[in-house]
Each structure stands twice: as C-alpha cells, then as structure tokens.
C-alpha cells in the first residue's frame, strides 16, 4: 500500500473550492489573514479543515451552518474575551456569523497571540548544553 503524501496547501485550495460558493470569498479572506500573520506556517488539512502549524498547532477554520469557526488552542480566546464579546466563543473557538463581515484585524491579532505562545512554548522546551 503506497504511503499517503503529506497534505499541502493545494488541498486547502480544493477545500475552499468545494465550500458553498457564497462562503468561498470569506474563507479565502480568512486564509489570507492567517498566512499574512504566519507566512512560515505549514498549511494542510487536519480534522477535515484547513490547519496551520507553526512551532506547534496554530489555527484551524471551517464553515458551519450559521458561522465560520476559527479554532485556536487555549488560552488565546479567554485572554481576548473583551474584544470577542460580540461573538459566540468556546474555550478554543470563535464563531463569526455568516451575515457579518469578518473582523480581519481581530483574526490577525488572535493568530499572532497564538504564534507568540507557540514560540514561547518551543523555547521553554529546548534544552541547552549542560555546563
């Protein structure tokens, strides 16, 4: 049995192309915002949705029936609760209503915050030579 090659950004292109036509522009806009903030992040499909990895799990997004979900590892959502008061949130998700414009500046801020946490966590797990 041949090994499956690693998912690529082409799969994200296909994912967006297969989304409802009315949502494709918003998904492209969200993807672009994440890539602008995290150009070095690897892009693939995970949990059946676009996924970004940068020194660990960075972000996922997916269209749902009434919203587009942006998924970030905790505690980023909790740390930005005041700015997210207008949106339904969970411990690891923000729900952007389909009938509203995406808050791109806020999306970038959240992704940037998760990047900083990933960088900090990566540094804290690195071990230097013993002296």
pLDDT in tens, 76-129: 999 999 999 999 999 999 999 999 999 999 999 999 999 999 999 888 876 555
- Statement: residue 72 has pLDDT above 50: yes
What's the pLDDT tens digit per position in 30-46? 999 999 999 999 999 99
User: What local confidence, expressed as pLDDT, does residue 2 receive?
Assistant: 44
Q: How many whole angstroms separate alpha carbon 74 and alpha carbon 81?
A: 12
- Please state the length of the chain: 131
Angle, in degrees to the nearest 10, between helices 9-18 and 21-37: 150
Q: Which element (helix H / strand E) includes 94? A: strand 93-97
CA atoms within 13 A on the CB side of 23: 20
pTM equals 0.88
Q: Please give the pLDDT value at position 128.
A: 52
Q: What is the DSSP string of 49-90?
A: EEEEESSSEEEEEEE-SSEEEEE--TTHHHHTTTTTTTSEE-
pLDDT (0 to 100) of residue 67: 97
Task: Please state, in angstroms and as integers, the Cα–Cα distance from residue 17 to each residue in 6, 23, 27, following that order.
Answer: 20, 10, 10
Tell me the Ramachandran region of residue 63: left when phi exceeds 0, alpha when psi lies from -120 to 50, beta otherwise: beta
The architecture in CATH of the region 9-117 reads Alpha-Beta Complex (3.90)
């Amino acid at each position: 049995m041949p090994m499956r090659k690693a998912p690529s950004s082409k799969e994200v292109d296909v994912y967006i192309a297969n989304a409802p036509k009315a949502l494709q522009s918003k998904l492209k806009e969200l993807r672009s915002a994440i890539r602008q903030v995290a150009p070095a992040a690897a892009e693939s499909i995970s949990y059946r949705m676009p996924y970004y990895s940068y020194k660990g799990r960075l972000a996922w997004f997916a269209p749902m029936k009434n919203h587009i979900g942006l998924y970030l590892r905790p505690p980023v959502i909790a740390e930005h609760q005041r700015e997210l008061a207008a949106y339904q949130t969970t411990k690891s998700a923000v729900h952007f209503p389909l009938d509203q414009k995406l808050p791109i500046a806020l999306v970038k801020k959240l992704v940037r915050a998760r990047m900083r946490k990933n960088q900090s966590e990566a540094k804290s797990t690195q071990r230097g030579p013993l002296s």
